[in-house]
């Protein structure tokens, strides 16, 4: 009788371990972010708490990692597909064991990278918490955050609006390589609403912020015929750098400077 019970217990333990390896009854992870409801900006510090809850059996955790994620548009075989990409990683905890039904908590602080895209248009940003479980399916938790423009970027966007442009599209796009070590950059597309810039078809901008300044990559698309489009003479690309001192002169001064740059390429 006792041998039968021992075998049953052993068989049940094996069954639980097998199910846990497939993610059923395995450890779970949940992240509680402490971020303002109004949103955060690149360079801001975010904090939170990670909760790890043990499953039906003890499991070895190889590590915990936070991953800053976004999605982007990629062209594949003349069609556009959306893919996810990691922007930054923060390893938090090395190997430890979580007991069955037990609970572990870990606090963290993380400064959002300067190249974090804003949540506008089709762009979403989230923090993925990855729990690396030995010999089992990894557990994960996704927490979406609202990202506002970098202060210098916000000033340029205000200047563009003052010049009478309307935002048509904001999207992360695949560029292969960037100074930030990630394959995507966020592109802003504007269209003119006033006669002053009516000769333009559209205005595109990419912002590369750094502490104290922002590099602006700009493409001015002029309205032209099929011949000029074929020759590629309807587009002009330029780049310039704005420092904090440029912004402190006020939004009107920045708008005048930006307007002069745009008109020089019309």
> What pLDDT sits at residue 138?
62
* Three-class SS state of 177: coil
User: What's the CATH code of the domain at 203?
Assistant: 3.30.1460
Domain assignment present for residue 200? The answer is yes
Q: How far apart are CA 126 and CA 89, in angstroms?
A: 12
> What pLDDT sits at residue 136?
52
Residues 73 and 183 in one domain: no
What's the mean pLDDT when you consider all of the chain?
84
Task: Spell out the residues 6+ positions from residue 245 whose beta carbon is closer than 8 angstroms to its own.
Answer: none
Mean pLDDT of 253-258: 95
> Of the candidates 143, 120, 114, 123, which has an alpha carbon nearest to the alpha carbon of residue 73?
123
Residues 160 and 132 in one domain: no
Bigger pLDDT: 14 or 175? Answer: 175
Select from 93, 111, 145 the last residue of a domain: 145
The model's pLDDT over 196-226, given as tens digits with 9 standing for 90+, comes to 898 899 999 999 999 999 999 999 997 643 4
Residues 165 and 130 in one domain: no
> Of the candidates 188, 191, 185, 200, which has an alpha carbon nearest to the alpha carbon of residue 235?
200
Domain assignment present for residue 235? The answer is yes
pLDDT > 90 fraction of the chain, expressed in percent and rounded: 54
pLDDT > 70 fraction of the chain, expressed in percent and rounded: 84
- Name the pTM for this structure: 0.82
pLDDT confidence tier of residue 149, bands split at 50, 70 and 90: very high
Burial 220-239 (b: 16+ CB within 10 A, else e): bbbeeeeeeeeeeebbeeee
Tell me the β-bridge partners of 189.
169, 204
Q: How many domains, the chain?
A: 2
The model's pLDDT over 169-195, given as tens digits with 9 standing for 90+, comes to 999 988 887 888 898 999 999 999 988
Mean pLDDT of 32-39: 92
Domain with 243, as residue range(s), is: 151-263
* Phi and psi torsions of 17, nearest 5°: -65, -40
The model's pLDDT over 101-139, given as tens digits with 9 standing for 90+, comes to 889 999 999 999 999 999 998 899 999 998 887 755 667
Q: Which two tokens stand for residue 215?
A: 């590099």
> What pLDDT sits at residue 160?
96
Domain assignment present for residue 11? The answer is no
Q: How far apart are CA 64 and CA 87, in angstroms?
A: 17
Task: Spell out the residues 6+ positions from residue 172 whose beta carbon is closer than 8 angstroms to its own.
Answer: 70, 71, 72, 73, 85, 117, 123, 184, 185, 186, 187
Residue 23 has pLDDT above 70, yes or no: no
User: What's the CATH code of the domain at 141?
Assistant: 2.60.40.640
> What pLDDT sits at residue 73?
83
């Amino acid at each position: 009788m006792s041998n039968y019970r021992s075998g049953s217990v052993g068989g049940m333990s094996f069954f639980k371990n097998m199910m846990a390896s497939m993610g059923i009854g395995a450890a779970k992870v949940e992240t509680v972010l402490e971020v303002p409801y109004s949103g955060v900006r690149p360079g801001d510090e975010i904090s939170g708490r990670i909760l790890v809850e043990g499953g039906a059996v003890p499991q070895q955790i190889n590590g915990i990692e936070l991953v800053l994620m976004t999605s982007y548009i990629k062209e594949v075989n003349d069609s556009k597909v959306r893919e996810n990409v990691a922007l930054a990683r923060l390893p938090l905890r090395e190997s430890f064991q979580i007991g069955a039904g037990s609970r572990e908590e870990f606090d963290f602080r993380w400064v959002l990278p300067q190249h974090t895209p804003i949540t506008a248009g089709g762009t979403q940003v989230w923090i993925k918490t990855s729990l690396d479980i030995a010999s089992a399916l990894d557990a994960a938790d996704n927490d979406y955050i609202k990202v506002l423009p970098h202060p210098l970027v916000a000033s340029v966007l205000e200047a563009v609006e003052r010049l009478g442009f309307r935002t048509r599209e904001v999207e992360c796009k695949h560029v292969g390589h960037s100074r930030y070590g990630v394959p995507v950059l966020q592109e802003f597309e504007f269209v003119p609403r006033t006669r002053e810039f009516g000769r333009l078809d559209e205005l595109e901008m990419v912002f590369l912020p750094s502490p104290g300044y922002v590099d602006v990559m700009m493409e001015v698309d002029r309205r032209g015929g099929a011949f000029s489009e074929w020759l590629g003479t309807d587009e002009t690309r330029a780049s310039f750098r704005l420092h904090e001192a440029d912004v402190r002169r006020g939004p009107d001064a920045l708008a005048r400077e930006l307007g002069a740059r745009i008109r020089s390429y019309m």
